[in-house]
Structure 1
């Protein structure tokens, strides 16, 4: 199992800089997801690793073998890297078995194709052509074709984006299971938060051509390094805080911190919407909006803190909350996470909360 190491990678499109000193490490056998909005450079990163685009400087290595150092490049077909594009790009005139076995030595083709059809859950469907398969089945064939030559690394370029929501959830779980079963090292690029958190062992958040933070999904979600990562992983309540003795004094009271060694001073803390509990007790806030989402309610709150400062909060609750205009008590479950060091709080806009579109919210958390 070969790992991927990207060091101080710079890349351009014409005269425009796209990657600006990017670093990324993926261990052998790990599934990684690179998460970021359109235009942040994640597809360019994948294309450089695959050999489709040249690096301006920096190093790309797989299994310790340098593939691109900004001066010399290994040709794409010699890199032992599998690539699954967004649309699968199957050969329409070949069967599923023919697509998977394309390019394999004749002596091992039959056994390897049969093995991979079973791995991706398509046993018995090898004789079907792409037009006879569903979208999800076609992506399974594309995955099997990429795995067929036993690549050192597999790259997945938003391969589930064209599928409907439920199929996307089911297929990403099946693909992750198949890759783990095969012991593959893989990198998925996506702008979908739920997809990244559910698929990967390591999630790397990308912004403006760099990796801001790469960590295990749970760590990244609950202990982001800054407000950008906090927002990138879902809706975030960001409250002004004063730190002292391993605690944070906030408009919701004095809260324990995830890392008690946080220095004294002022800053910002993160609370996820699921950490807020609504009831009769706690600090009272006014309900400004309620959105029923089937599995829960999303509640927007307005809290007036000491000194007249307003904090806009978001809570998720499984039970029906009081309606807009009602007063409700808010308590906190768990620890707050300090995001901003002392002295940086001045840059925080008044009454700041994340405004992540609901479709990107990591609701499972």
Structure 2
């Protein structure tokens, strides 16, 4: 069942157009994420949905109710939408319980506050003040306060950005679990790819005021619509290829294609770094490469490779592989596992001067 539906939405700041025909659907009870770089329009989109910014034209509905069409606009306080800002914006002079219950009818306040404290894992913290909590606990209080009036939609505007890296991952997982337990419909806005991939059921990648691609985290990561989306979601090895109907013929060998890929023609194809396997022993389907660098990252090694120039055109100057162990030799053999995914025109045709791998 559709929760939020946005159709052909336009919005501006003064004379500057920010949103240019945005289409987005968020199913009821699902967690969605709008992912994009700074300045792409994602925060403006959230503000239009919340009722803080007026649409120029288009249509925004929630559970069939019209929120904004550029002419008729429902006030923010009547939209039944909760909002969690980046800093949480808790009232410092109020207790945790008072923050959560703020605005609730007095008769319902104690039971609802107790229910939400338990939901966010803060039972027994009701008498504390915000300054007595950790950053992660403060964000959970802000979430509980937003959920208190039982909104039809919850908007989260980069709520984890102010947390340190180690805490951010834990709080993100806790918030996602809390929203799923509550059966909430929510939209997270972020520029952090890891955050989007680990949090949402559906991701909408936003670029230049438009939605470039929408899909599950797995689909967007393995089957991006174009090279820009591929790079934005993580490092990508981009190779020139000739598609022969069943496979991509590349300098790294004949590779299977993802489902729904074009059947023929010259294309740019993507391989994620985890698809490259390294060995010190030559194999029939392996190509030779020189190790340029090896960086230990705790959970794996990031290895930069220079492919053998004898392999010919269509290969980038460097490849990137993620491995569980460090290569023992300066010369290795590279094998590809999994399917290649076409992401646009071939390197020689459209990507001259563009890096083949980008660290996102």
TM class, shorter-chain normalised? over 0.9
- Offset, 1:140: 0.6
Q: 1:21 to 1:345 in 2, by over 3 A?
A: farther
Which of residues 332, 346, 350 is equivalent to 2:349? 346
Partner of 2:37: 37
Asked if the contact 1:245–1:260 (Cα under 8 Å) also holds between the matched residues in 2, the reply is no
Stretches of structure 2 lacking an aligned partner (at least 5 in a row): none
- Give 1:1-365 correspondences, 5 Å limit: 3-259=3-259, 262-279=262-279, 280=281, 281=283, 282-303=286-307, 304=309, 306-308=311-313, 310-311=315-316, 312-322=318-328, 326-340=330-344, 346-349=349-352, 352-357=355-360
Partner SS, residue 23 of structure 2 = strand
Q: For 2:156 and 2:5, how far apart are their aligned partners in 1?
A: 17
Q: With structure 1 as the length reference, what TM-score do the two structures score?
A: 0.94
Q: 1:31 & 1:91 partners in 2: Cα distance?
A: 27
After TM superposition, give the deviation of residue 344 of structure 1 in Å.
8.4
C-alpha distance in structure 1 between counterparts of 2:181 and 2:137, whole Å = 18
Gaps of 5+ in 1: 358-365
Cα distance in structure 2, aligned partners of 1:238 and 1:322: 26
Post-superposition offset of 1:294: 1.6
Number of equivalent positions: 354
Contact 2:301 2:322 in 1 (8 A): yes
User: Which stretch has the larger CA shift, 297-306 or 199-208?
Assistant: 297-306
3-state SS in 2 of match to 1:33: strand
For residue 141 of structure 1, give the secondary structure of its aligned residue in structure 2: helix
Whether the 8 Å CA contact 1:2–1:29 is kept in 2: the answer is: no
- Whether the 8 Å CA contact 1:302–1:310 is kept in 2: the answer is no
- For the residue of structure 2 that corresponds to 1:356, the secondary structure is coil
Please give the root-mean-square deviation of Cα atoms over the aligned residues, in Å: 1.6
Task: State the alpha-carbon separation in 2 of the partners of residues 319 and 352 from structure 1.
Answer: 26
SS at match of 1:319: coil
**1: CA distance between counterparts of 2:359 and 2:176?**
26
Aligned-residue offset at 1:251? 1.1
CA contact (8 A) 2:214 2:220 kept: yes
Q: Tell me how far apart the structure 1 counterparts of residues 4 and 228 of structure 2 sit (CA, whole Å).
A: 25
**CA–CA distance in structure 2, aligned partners of residues 307 and 102 of structure 1:** 67
CA distance in structure 2 between the aligned counterparts of 1:264 and 1:309, rounded to whole angstroms: 17
SS of structure 1 residue aligned to 2:21: strand
